[in-house]
């Protein structure tokens, strides 16, 4: 079974800055979710700061369908006219969406990095991750932005139990305002 998202984005090759895990970023792309046999897809705008994340899930026309926000103290999810809050973003996503995404790890994974700790990984000849298994997740790096060792992933497949996500990254900005 394969989920396929297609699209065309012309962009210069994305590369990692020095110490990328400490650099805030804003990322635009698309996400496809398969959970318990149901599929859905959305546009994605993700702004990651040192102590906070904001994720906008967008309709095909670019309107905000849902907003997920978390910081050190709380998490909120706005879905249309409904507002939800919790102290933990993963629990909140599970409660409202029926699935959870590990944001504390994801900001490393989208940069082609591992989270320190137990992991099993495979690398290509340039030293870039091709498969990462960490904390119950399998992350497959399906495409990179270029042919250099510091190129960023642009297509990833994340899976865990009955959840599969395809993430396509169209553009990334370092140190957004």
Domain ranges in the chain? 20-174
What percentage of the chain has pLDDT greater than the value 70? 88
Length of the chain: 177
Which pair of structure tokens corresponds to residue 173? 């900005």
What's residue 4's pLDDT?
A: 37
**Residue ranges of the chain whose pLDDT lies below 70:** 1-22
What percentage of the chain has pLDDT greater than the value 90? 63
Give the three-state DSSP class for 124.
coil
Q: So what's the architecture of 20-174 in CATH? A: Clam (2.50)
Which pair of structure tokens corresponds to residue 18? 């020095």
Alpha-carbon gap, residue 132 to 121, rounded angstroms: 4
Backbone angles phi, psi at 57, to 5 degrees: -100, 125
Q: Edge-to-edge strands of the sheet including 38-48?
A: 82-86, 75-79, 64-70, 53-58, 38-48, 25-35, 163-174, 153-160, 137-144, 129-134, 120-123
What's residue 3's pLDDT?
A: 37
């Amino acid at each position: 079974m394969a989920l396929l998202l297609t699209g065309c984005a012309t962009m210069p090759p994305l590369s990692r800055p020095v110490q990328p895990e400490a650099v805030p970023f804003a990322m635009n792309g698309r996400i496809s979710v398969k959970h318990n046999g149901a599929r859905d897809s959305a546009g994605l705008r993700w702004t990651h700061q040192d102590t906070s994340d904001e994720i906008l899930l967008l309709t095909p026309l670019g309107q905000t369908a849902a907003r997920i926000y978390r910081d050190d103290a709380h998490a909120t999810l706005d879905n249309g006219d409904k507002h939800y809050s919790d102290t933990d973003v993963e629990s909140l996503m599970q409660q409202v969406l029926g699935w959870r995404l590990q944001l504390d790890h994801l900001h490393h994974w989208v940069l082609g990095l591992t989270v320190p700790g137990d992991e099993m990984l495979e690398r290509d000849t340039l030293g870039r991750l091709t498969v990462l298994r960490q904390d119950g997740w399998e992350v497959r790096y399906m495409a990179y932005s270029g042919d250099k060792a510091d190129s960023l992933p642009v297509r990833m497949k994340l899976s865990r139990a009955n959840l599969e996500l395809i993430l396509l990254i169209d553009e990334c900005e370092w140190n957004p305002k």
